[in-house]
Amino acid sequence: QVQLVESGGGLVQAGGSLRLSCAASGRTFSTYAMGWFRQAPGKEREFVTTITSSGGSTYYADSIKGRFTISRDNAKDTVYLQMNSLKPEDTAVYYCAATRSYSSWIVRRYDYWGQGTQVTVSS
């Protein structure tokens, strides 16, 4: 069982930056691939980025490539999402998720989810 708690969301102006954190419980964090997803009102949850268990590989959605960076610190059981050059269309609830399988962009491949943190970007 893995429990995930996101933090770092908030209100920011377009062009600004935020750093999200996701703290995991349990002793096996380093064995999970981690992902960030987001869900805007009235829309389906969508893939943002994922990182392999070792942190050696990362993958990004085209919509955020070059602006967002995922990283992890296995010693701290934490995964991060650095978001730069934010746009109003980035407004959503951001969720971190863990999978015992390989890194994936597919929602149903993830076994554990956090409660989400709201990110609002004003124009």
pLDDT (tens digit, 9 = 90+) per residue, 77-101? 999 999 999 999 999 999 999 999 8
- Token digits for 119? 């990110």
Q: pLDDT tens for the chain, 123 residues: list them.
A: 899 999 999 999 999 999 999 999 977 999 999 999 999 999 999 999 999 999 999 999 999 999 999 999 999 999 999 999 999 999 999 999 999 988 899 999 999 999 999 999 999
Rounded Cα–Cα distance for residues 47 and 25 (Å):
23
CB 95 within 8 A of CB 79: no
